[in-house]
Amino acid sequence: MTQEKSNKRWWGLAAVCFGLFMALLDVTIVNVALPTIQSDFNTDFSQLEWIVNAYTLIFAVALITVARLGDIFGRKRFFMLGLIVFTIGSLLCALAPGINFLNISRGIQGLGASAMMSLSMAIISTTFFGKERGIAFGVWGGVSGLATAIGPLVGGILVQNFSWQSIFYLNLPIGLIALVMAFLFIKETKDEETSKSIDIIGFLLITAAMFCLVFGLIEVNKSDLGWTSPEIIGLLGGALISFIVFVLVELKIKTPMVNPRIFKNLSYSGACIAAFCLSAGVYALFFYLTIYLQNYLGFSALEAGLRFIAISGFALFLGPISGNLTDKIGSKPVIVTALAILAIADFMMTLVSSTQDQSNWIYLLPAFLVAGVGNGLINPPISTTAVDTVPNRIVGMASGVNNVSRQIGIAFGTAFLGAVLSNQYVNAIQEKISGLNMQGVPDDAKQDIIDGISSAGPIAGSQGLEGAGADKYQSMPGFSQIQDIAQTAFVNSLDQVFVTAGIILSLGAILSFFLIKKSDFVD
């Protein structure tokens, strides 16, 4: 192979990484801008949530579909199309005159990001081989881990020094550079062995299943809903039925959008489980850590983002090392070790609530550093396993399904960990305030206070009940004690969140150990 062709491949990898970085950065970068956006548009929290959720929902729903379309019609073509759609969506977000326009534009961003994310792995897999593939996936993993974790820092810098619109304007020059580089350096590949007919029924069924599942997970922690509410049962039940019908249909047709038989390969299934557990046990946790740092400790967006460098900083240089290590000893030991390290980090985070000084973030630093090592190691071997256990012709489909596992993991983790936090918080509030001596306050009024604070939720509690409608209680005896109880209950409840996240990662490590086998890898 000539030096020119070799250099062209690596420039193509750079183009892929530009797109990947934008797609994952925008999952977390917007969080720190939400208070400013809320103030500018004078909107309520339920509409504000959709700035995050519209992106996540469309991203997850479209992943499998665009991955398969890339397999059929050209991976480079659809990757570039994703770049164009994402960049246009970013411009529309920056120019949004109102909250509804912004939320729709975020959905457009999510559509473009789904193509960039799912096809990035497929392009790398069909461009690099042997030791170079391990290095390429190491770079992919480093960029992936860095982009997800560094979002709050980048967002904090831009919002604090410019405006919330700047987090979207940032994507315009990056998107243009990536588009030119993709056109010049990425080689077009597709699945030449299957029909170009589109599986319309499969498309409709998987879209319905993904929409119901992700939307249900997003909605489950609303104050008036819950896991047993008719709306959530209906959405999750609809997702299950759609998915079962989808599997039955895909098993019978010649050119399925997703061939369910792919999961007969236990190593591939292990990679998807590892991706799910990683997202649920680590990346979903960033939301609650951000709340602790900004709401409870009072750090600015920039100050909070700087502290996440302890987690994200390792990814940039450990990613390539992990890719090289995976090539030498196999992906299984790296995945199992990294998940175990991340589980230990989650368990170490419980140290915060066990100290007398709960307002000192330094107790989290050792756990953040350990998590940084695990985060830096984990992504390359998962990606390698996902594409090296299937034939090259269906790597787009395989990478799409693996990335769906990641997105569902984030949605599930955020919802499930939120349910754990809320349950522990409400129990603590009821126990502590019930035993509080509030002279002159009748028991029924005390119960009203308990109900009001409980319904406001742990996020309000983390801020000392600011914005929780607690003004009417300020003149009551013991209100300052109630504020302290609410904040203490929030931090103590985080213990169970950390432990639950650690258990999820531990299960991922155990299942990966038993499922991933060297014999399943395609030579």
How many domains does one find in the chain?
3
Cα–Cα dist 254/356, whole Å? 63
Are residues 261 and 402 located together in one domain of the fold? Answer: yes
Cα–Cα dist 268/270, whole Å? 5
pLDDT of residue 10: 84
pLDDT of residue 41: 82
3 state DSSP class of 518 = helix
pLDDT of residue 94: 92
Highest mean pLDDT (candidates 167-171, 197-201, 226-230, 489-493): 167-171
The mean per-residue pLDDT over the stretch 315-338 comes to: 84
Are residues 331 and 372 located together in one domain of the fold? Answer: yes
Are residues 220 and 292 located together in one domain of the fold? Answer: no
pLDDT of residue 346: 93
pLDDT at 417 over 60: yes
Percent of the residues in the chain that have a pLDDT greater than 70, as a whole number: 81
pLDDT bracket for residue 455 (50, 70, 90): low
Cα–Cα dist 342/334, whole Å? 12
Q: Chain-wide mean pLDDT for the chain?
A: 79
pLDDT bracket for residue 449 (50, 70, 90): low
pLDDT of residue 443: 57
Are residues 219 and 263 located together in one domain of the fold? Answer: no
Cα–Cα dist 508/513, whole Å? 8
Q: Please give the residue that has the higher pLDDT: either 302 or 332.
A: 332
Which of 98-107, 196-205, 226-235, 405-414 has the weakest average pLDDT?
A: 196-205
Are residues 342 and 366 located together in one domain of the fold? Answer: yes
Show the tokens assigned to 396: 């787009």
pLDDT of residue 276: 92
pLDDT bracket for residue 274 (50, 70, 90): very high
Tell me the helices (H) and strands (E) count for the chain, helix number first.
21, 0
3 state DSSP class of 78 = helix
Q: Please give the residue that has the higher pLDDT: either 64 or 371.
A: 371
3 state DSSP class of 188 = coil
pLDDT of residue 105: 93
Are residues 286 and 396 located together in one domain of the fold? Answer: yes
Type of residue numbered 243: F
pLDDT at 293 over 70: yes
Are residues 165 and 306 located together in one domain of the fold? Answer: yes
Cα–Cα dist 405/279, whole Å? 8
Which of 2-6, 67-71, 161-165, 452-456 has the weakest average pLDDT?
A: 2-6
What residues make up the domain containing 456? Answer: 424-493
The mean per-residue pLDDT over the stretch 105-118 comes to: 88
Which of 31-35, 182-186, 417-421 has the weakest average pLDDT?
A: 31-35
Q: Residue 495: which residues within 8 A CB-CB, separation 6 or more? A: 350, 353, 424
pLDDT at 510 over 80: yes
Cα–Cα dist 62/407, whole Å? 11
User: Of the candidates 252, 287, 316, which is a domain's last residue?
Assistant: 252
Are residues 419 and 431 located together in one domain of the fold? Answer: no
CB atoms within 10 A of CB 223: 11
Q: Are 277 and 271 in contact (CB under 8 A)?
A: no
Q: Please give the residue that has the higher pLDDT: either 305 or 364.
A: 364
Are residues 296 and 411 located together in one domain of the fold? Answer: yes
We report the CATH number of the domain holding residue 394 as 1.20.1250.20
Are residues 243 and 99 located together in one domain of the fold? Answer: no
Q: Please give the residue that has the higher pLDDT: either 67 or 235.
A: 235
Which of 23-37, 203-217, 225-239 has the weakest average pLDDT?
A: 23-37
Are residues 380 and 433 located together in one domain of the fold? Answer: no
User: Of the candidates 223, 252, 281, which is a domain's last residue?
Assistant: 252
Cα–Cα dist 432/321, whole Å? 50
Radius of gyration of the chain from its Cα atoms, rounded to whole angstroms? 23
pLDDT at 48 over 60: yes
* Per-residue pLDDT tens digits for 115-160: 888 788 778 877 887 777 777 877 777 777 677 667 777 887 888 8
Give 189-239 as a DSSP string. ---TTS-----HHHHHHHHHHHHHHHHHHHHTTSTT--TTSHHHHHHHHHH
Are residues 389 and 450 located together in one domain of the fold? Answer: no
Listed residue (191, 146, 133, 214) closest to 383, CA to CA: 133
pLDDT at 472 over 60: no
pLDDT at 437 over 70: no
3 state DSSP class of 221 = coil
pLDDT of residue 363: 81
pLDDT of residue 512: 93
Tell me the torsion sign for CA atoms 47, 23, 504, 295.
Answer: negative
Type of residue numbered 141: G
Show the tokens assigned to 215: 């939307």
pLDDT of residue 445: 57
pLDDT bracket for residue 54 (50, 70, 90): confident
Which of 214-218, 250-254, 370-374, 438-442 has the weakest average pLDDT?
A: 438-442
Q: Are 112 and 89 in contact (CB under 8 A)?
A: yes
pLDDT at 344 over 90: yes
pLDDT of residue 309: 78
Report in angstroms the alpha-carbon separations of 288 from 158, 205, 232, 245. Answer: 22, 33, 22, 36
The mean per-residue pLDDT over the stretch 79-93 comes to: 93
pLDDT of residue 224: 61
